A and B are shown apart, each in its own frame.
Chain A
Amino acid sequence: MLSNYIKIAWKVLLRHPFYTFITLFGISLTLTVLMVLTSFIDHLFGSHYPENKRDRSVYVGTVIQTDSSGTTMSSGPASFDFLVKHAKPLKSAEKVSIFSNFSFSNTYVNGKRIKLNTKYTDAEFWEVMGFQFLEGKPYNETNIKNSDHVAVITDALREQYFDADGGNVVGKNIEIENVNYRVIGVVKGSPPTRLYSYSDVYFPYTAPKSNYENKGLRGRFIAVILTKSKSEIPGVQAEFDNSIARIPDSEIPDRKQYPVLIVKADQYFDHFLNTLARNDTQRVMFYAIVGFVLLMFMGLPAINLVNVNVSRILERASEIGVRKAFGAPAKALLWQFIIENVFITFIGGAFALIFSLLIISMINASGWIAYADLTINVPVFLVSIAVCLLFGFLSGVLPAFRMSKLKIVDALKA
C-alpha cells in the first residue's frame, strides 16, 4: 500500500514539474535556513572544543549590585579575590577554574603589528577546558607559585610571531608590552564565539598586569565550576547560593547604596540569557519575541506550502472522485495525501541537507569565524527530520481534509 502511494506521488511530481519545483524550492529553502540556524546555535551554546564539558559546567560571570526595587544597579565580572573566597571552596564541585575575561594587547615583530587577545588563568583552567596541546604542556601550580613569566599560545599566533616553518617554539620568548614570556605550550585555537576559552595568549594569573591582587567585589574574573555529572548541577548551585547568602555586610562595599547582591552560578545558556534579561518579565518578553520571529519565519513557508498543496490537490479532483466512487473511504484518501506530502517533504529535506552542508562548509572555510567548526550533528539532523515531518503533516492534512469532504458528484464533474 505504502509503496503504491509513493509510486503515485512520484508520478504526480513528474506530471507538473513547475509545481514540483515550487514545492521543493519552498521546503528545501526553509529547511536549509532552519538547519544552518540550528547548527549555528549549537555552535554557540553546545559543548564543543575546547569547552567540551560545558554541559556539566556552571559559570559565575556577573556580580550584580542593585537596590531593592531594582531601579539602579551596577554590574560586571567579579574580582579574583571574591571568586577565590566563594567559588573555589565549593565542596560538591569537581573542579573550579578562575580566569580573566579576554583583554586586548599588541605585539610587534619585524615592524609588523599583531593584535592579541590575552587571558590570565589558573592551572585548573587546562583541566576544565579540553584544549589540545600541539606542543609543550600547560603551566602548573609551581609556575603560578613562582610567578613565572610563561605563556601558552595558539597555533595561529605561533605562525604569525615565529616563522611558520621554524618547528618547535617551546622555550622561545615572546615579548608582549615589554615583558618577555617564555612559551611553554602551543594549543589549537578556540573560535572567538566561545567567549570564555577564546584568546591568543594565556598567562598564569600571577603574571604581570593581571590585577589579581585587587580587593573588592568587582574585577575582570570569571569562574567555571565543573560538576561531577550533569545531575549534580542543582546541588552545586545550591551550595554556591548558600555561600553567597552568608557574605557579611562588611565585605561588600556600597552596601548602603546597593543593598541587594546577586551572584549566580548559571549554566552557559542561562548565564547568557541573564545578561540580556534580568528578571522574569524580561525573560518572558525575550522568549515571546524569539517565538514570534520564529513563528513568522517558519509560518510563512508553511502557509505557502499549504496554499500550493490545496490548489495542487484540488486539481486532482477527478482522480479523487473516481477513487471515491469505487468505494475508497475518506480515511484512505487522507492517508494517501499525507504520505504523499511527507514523501515530498523528505525529498526537499534531502536537498536541504545538501544545501546546508554546502553553506556550512562555506562558512567554515571563509574564515568569517576563525576556527569555525559548524557541523550538522546528530541532534541538529534529528531536529531537521522532525521539522520535515511536521511540515509534511501540516501541508498535507488541510488539503486532504478538504478533499475527503468533497462530494463524489462534484469531484467527478470536475
Chain B
Amino acid sequence: MFSHLFKLIWNKKGAHSLLIIEIWASFMVLFGVLSLIVYNVRNYLKPIGFEYENVWNMDLANNQDTVEVSSKLNRALQRVKAYPEVESVSRMSSNTPFSANQIGNSVTYNKVTVGADFYYTDSEFSRTMDLPMLKGRWYREGDRVAKFVPIVINKAMEAKLFQDEAAIGKVIKVDDKTSFKVIGVVDKFKAKGEFMTDGPALFQLIAQDDGWNSNLLIKTKPGTDANFEAKLVRDMAVMLPGWGIEISYLKESLKNRHNLTLVPVLIFLIVSGFLLTNVALGLFGILNLNISKRKGEIGLRRAMGATEGRVTTQFLGEIWVLATFSMILGLLFAVQFPLMNVFDLDREVYIIAIFAAILVIYLIVTLCAWFPSKQAARIHPAVALHEE
C-alpha cells in the first residue's frame, strides 16, 4: 500500500514539486518558531528559586563623591535597616535580580572550566531573597576572617564543576592570592526572571572595603507604600549629598523582563500563525481541485468495489506521503541544529521542536485533505463514470 502510494506521488513529482517546497518551507518556519517557544516554556516551567514580592532595589551612584565610598555605603545600609518598615537589607552587585546587567566569569576545578554568573552579595542576602539552602549554609560576617573567600553556588554549578563529587568544603584556587571555598549550595537562582535558563551561578561575599557594588536590596514589610519610599529617598539624599538614588520594585522589573521575552515571541507567533493559515487555505484549495479532477478514477475504483473509507484513506495517504517526503527534506536541515549545538541551546529543545513541528504539519495536511477526499469518496460510481 505504502510503496504503491509512493510510486503514485513519484510519478507526478513535477506537478507536486511546488507542494513539496511549500510543506518544506512551512516545516522550517514551524521548526524555528517552535524552538523559540519550547526553549522559553521549558525555562518557564522551572521555578525562579527566590521571593521578590516585597523587595525593592535601591541603586546608589556615588557620582563625583569618591571619598570613603565603602564606609558611606555601609552606613547607608545600617540606616535603612533601622526603619521599622524594613524587614532586612542586603548589599549586592549591579546585576540585581531582573536587571539588564550581567557579570560573567569562569572558574576552574580539576581541569573542568565552567562559566558562571557571579553575584557579589553579603551575609543577609539569603534572608532578604528567601533563597533556601540545599546543602551547607549561607556565608556569615564571621567568614571574613577565614583563609579562603567563602562562596555559595547553585545546583547547576555543582553538577557542572564537581560532577559527581560533593561540593561542600571544596577549595578552588582562583589566582595566587585568592582561593574560594564552597560552603553552601542553593537550588536555583534565575536572576533574569522565569524565562532565563537555570545556568551555573556563584555568590561571593562582598569585601569589607568594597565601594563598587552599591545596590541595596530592601525587603519591606507587606503594606509599605510610596510614602515610605519618598521618605527613604529624602533621608538618603540628606545622608549622601550628591549621590544618585533610584528605587525600583523587583516586581515591576520582572514585568519588564517578561515583556522583553514575550513581545518577540508573540510577534513571531502571530506572523507564523498567519503564514500557516495562508498555507492551509492554499493547500485546501489545491487538493480540492486536484481531487475533483480525478472523478473518473474514483468512480472506477468505487465501481470495482472499493469502500468510501478506502478511497478516503487513499487520498489521505497520498498527502501523508507527500508531507513525509517534504519533511525528510526539512529534517536534513533541522537535525543540523541539535547536532552542531547551534546557539548553544539544549539538544532536547530542538528535538522537541522537530517532533512538534512534524505533528503540526501532519495535522494541517490531514485537516486540509480530509474534507475534499471525504467528498470525493461519496461520489456515486455511476455518476462519475457517466461524466467520463
Residues of A within 8 A of B (CB): 18-19, 22, 25-26, 29-30, 33, 103-106, 108, 111-113, 115, 177-178, 208-209, 211, 213-214, 296-297, 299-301, 303-308, 310-312, 315
A300 touches B63 (CB 8 A): no
**What is the distance, in angstroms, from A376's C-beta to the closest C-beta of chain B?**
19
B64 touches A303 (CB 8 A): no
With a CB–CB cut-off of 8 A, which chain A residues contact B140? none
B18 touches A303 (CB 8 A): yes
Distance A248 CA – B157 CA, assembled complex (angstroms): 45
B238 touches A178 (CB 8 A): yes
**What is the distance, in angstroms, from B191's C-beta to the closest C-beta of chain A?**
19
Encode B157-174 as 1/0 by CB contact (under 8 A) with A.
Answer: 000000000000000000
Is B226 part of the contact surface with A, judged by Cβ < 8 Å? yes
B225 touches A111 (CB 8 A): yes
A112 touches B63 (CB 8 A): no
Is B278 part of the contact surface with A, judged by Cβ < 8 Å? yes
Q: Other than A33-B271, A112-B226, A296-B32, give 6 A-B pairs with Cβ distance below 8 A.
A: A22-B282, A115-B248, A300-B29, A300-B279, A308-B282, A308-B285
A-B residue pairs in contact (CB < 8 Å), sample of 9: A26-B278, A30-B278, A33-B271, A103-B246, A108-B233, A299-B25, A300-B25, A307-B22, A308-B282
Which of A112, A178, A305 has the most CB atoms of chain B within a 10 A radius of its CB?
Answer: A178
B286 touches A311 (CB 8 A): yes
**What is the distance, in angstroms, from A300's C-beta to the closest C-beta of chain B?**
5
Q: How large is the interface on B (under 10, 10 to 19, 20 to 34, 35 or more residues)?
A: 35 or more
Distance A307 CA – B225 CA, assembled complex (angstroms): 62
Distance A307 CA – B290 CA, assembled complex (angstroms): 12
B227 touches A300 (CB 8 A): no
B28 touches A296 (CB 8 A): yes
Is B303 part of the contact surface with A, judged by Cβ < 8 Å? no
A307, closest chain B residue (CB): B18
Distance A303 CA – B246 CA, assembled complex (angstroms): 54
With a CB–CB cut-off of 8 A, which chain B residues contact A115? 248
Tell which of B59, B226, B245, B275 touches A301, judged by Cβ atoms closer than 8 Å.
Answer: B275
Encode B207-232 as 1/0 by CB contact (under 8 A) with A.
Answer: 00000000000000000011101100
Tell which of B230, B243, B274, B284 touches A33, judged by Cβ atoms closer than 8 Å.
Answer: B274
A108 touches B64 (CB 8 A): no
Distance A180 CA – B227 CA, assembled complex (angstroms): 19
B246 touches A105 (CB 8 A): yes
With a CB–CB cut-off of 8 A, which chain B residues contact A29? 274, 277-278
Which of B243, B277, B282, B285 has the most CB atoms of chain A within a 10 A radius of its CB?
Answer: B282
Distance A305 CA – B28 CA, assembled complex (angstroms): 18
| Contacts of B26-70 to chain A: CB distance below 8 A | 26, 28-29, 32, 59, 61, 63-64
Distance A108 CA – B282 CA, assembled complex (angstroms): 58
Distance A280 CA – B151 CA, assembled complex (angstroms): 41
With a CB–CB cut-off of 8 A, which chain A residues contact B274? 29, 33
A33-B271, A108-B229, A296-B28 are contacts. A304–B278 as well, Cβ < 8 Å? yes
Q: Which 3 A-B pairs have the closest CB atoms?
A: A178-B237, A108-B230, A304-B282
A113 touches B281 (CB 8 A): no
Which of A26, A104, A105, A300 has the most CB atoms of chain B within a 10 A radius of its CB?
Answer: A300
B281 touches A22 (CB 8 A): yes
Is B234 part of the contact surface with A, judged by Cβ < 8 Å? yes
With a CB–CB cut-off of 8 A, which chain B residues contact A315? 289
B278 touches A297 (CB 8 A): no
Distance A103 CA – B290 CA, assembled complex (angstroms): 62
A211-B63, A296-B25, A300-B25 are contacts. A113–B282 as well, Cβ < 8 Å? no
Is B21 part of the contact surface with A, judged by Cβ < 8 Å? yes
A308 touches B244 (CB 8 A): no
B285 touches A301 (CB 8 A): no
A177 touches B237 (CB 8 A): yes
A18-B285, A297-B271, A311-B290 are contacts. A177–B25 as well, Cβ < 8 Å? no
With a CB–CB cut-off of 8 A, which chain A residues contact B61? 209
Encode B131-156 as 1/0 by CB contact (under 8 A) with A.
Answer: 00000000000000000000000000
Is B242 part of the contact surface with A, judged by Cβ < 8 Å? yes
Is B19 part of the contact surface with A, judged by Cβ < 8 Å? yes
With a CB–CB cut-off of 8 A, which chain B residues contact A208? 242
With a CB–CB cut-off of 8 A, which chain A residues contact B285? 18-19, 22, 308, 311
Encode B319-362 as 1/0 by CB contact (under 8 A) with A.
Answer: 00000000000000000000000000000000000000000000
Tell which of A19, A178, A297, A310 touches B18, judged by Cβ atoms closer than 8 Å.
Answer: A310
Is B247 part of the contact surface with A, judged by Cβ < 8 Å? yes
With a CB–CB cut-off of 8 A, which chain A residues contact B29? 296-297, 300
With a CB–CB cut-off of 8 A, which chain B residues contact A213? 64
A29-B274, A108-B229 are contacts. A308–B26 as well, Cβ < 8 Å? no
With a CB–CB cut-off of 8 A, which chain A residues contact B237? 177-178
**What is the distance, in angstroms, from A394's C-beta to the closest C-beta of chain B?**
12
